[in-house]
């Protein structure tokens, strides 16, 4: 049924929610801006950074986007030591899915530089055929990055699955005409994701392969 599996990154592949929220809060403090709560800082995960800044600081105007983005990048790549790690089972599952013939891609709110950094850091880059980042297309939940991935791979929306942990991921997939799968362990509570009618919800990354195997068996 599915040929192309498109993954969100933060909160789906890697456990970076606390790091992202910490970096946002530290950056705001440095620039003398009101420091968002932890919940508010986690809630914008999935958006592109400029869009996230506009949500968190709606009265500050566009002038803060560049300095806050630079400060955030400094914290995320250099100064903040909040631990991040792949969620359990991610590497083995991705390798197994690729070996079974699934095509893998990434659709993320990260910048291209940010994604390339973590792909190199985790060693997962070879697994993904292609990717789209928020700074080179339109931010989620606009479906444009998914349209670009489908066009590039030649896969129709009926044969692609968007996998993510936020309502932005699932809304983007819905608007692209794709099935979506919700992971329960990321930034947004599962109740928020269920409203968008994912075809499946999982609580551990390894459940994805089990479910896909069952689908494959039922279609043979």
Domains in the chain, please, with CATH?
4-15+86-218 (3.40.50.1000), 17-79 (1.10.150)
Q: Is 195 a residue whose pLDDT tops 80?
A: yes
Helices (H), the chain: 17-30, 38-43, 49-56, 65-74, 90-99, 112-122, 144-153, 167-175, 190-194, 207-218
Q: Is 220 a residue whose pLDDT tops 70?
A: no
Cut 0.85: pTM above it = yes
Q: Is 107 a residue whose pLDDT tops 90?
A: yes
Q: How many residues does the chain have?
A: 220
Q: For CA atoms 184, 185, 187, 191, give the dihedral sign.
A: positive
Q: Burial level of 99, CB count in 10 A (0-12/13-18/19+)? A: exposed
CB 47 within 8 A of CB 109: yes
Provide the pairing of β-strand 4-7 with 179-183.
unpaired
142: helix, strand or coil: coil
CB 95 within 8 A of CB 23: no
Give the other-Cβ count within 10 Å of 150's Cβ. 21
What confidence tier does 111 reach under pLDDT thresholds 50, 70, 90? Answer: confident
Q: How far apart are CA 116 and CA 44, in angstroms?
A: 21
Q: Is 46 a residue whose pLDDT tops 80?
A: yes
The mean per-residue pLDDT over the stretch 66-94 comes to 85
pLDDT score at 17: 85
pLDDT score at 80: 62
């Amino acid at each position: 049924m599915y040929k192309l599996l498109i993954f969100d990154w933060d909160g789906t592949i890697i456990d970076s929610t606390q790091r992202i929220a910490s970096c946002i809060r530290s950056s705001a403090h440095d620039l003398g801006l009101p420091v968002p709560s932890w919940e508010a800082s986690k809630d914008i995960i999935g958006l592109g950074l400029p869009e996230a800044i506009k949500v968190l600081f709606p009265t500050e105007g566009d002038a803060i986007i560049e300095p806050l983005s630079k400060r955030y990048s400094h914290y995320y790549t250099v100064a903040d030591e909040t631990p991040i790690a792949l969620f359990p089972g991610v590497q083995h599952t991705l390798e197994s899915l690729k070996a079974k013939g699934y095509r893998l891609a990434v659709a993320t709110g990260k910048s291209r530089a940010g994604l390339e950094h973590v792909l190199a850091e985790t060693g997962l880059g070879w697994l993904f055929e292609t990717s789209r980042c928020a700074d080179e297309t339109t931010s989620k939940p606009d479906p444009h990055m998914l349209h670009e991935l489908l066009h590039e791979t030649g896969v129709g929306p009926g044969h692609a699955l968007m996998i993510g942990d936020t309502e932005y991921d699932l809304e983007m997939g819905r608007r692209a005409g794709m099935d979506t799968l919700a992971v329960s362990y990321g930034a947004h509570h599962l109740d928020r994701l269920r409203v968008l009618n994912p075809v499946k919800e999982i609580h551990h990354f390894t459940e994805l392969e089990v479910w896909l195997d069952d689908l494959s068996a039922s279609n043979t």
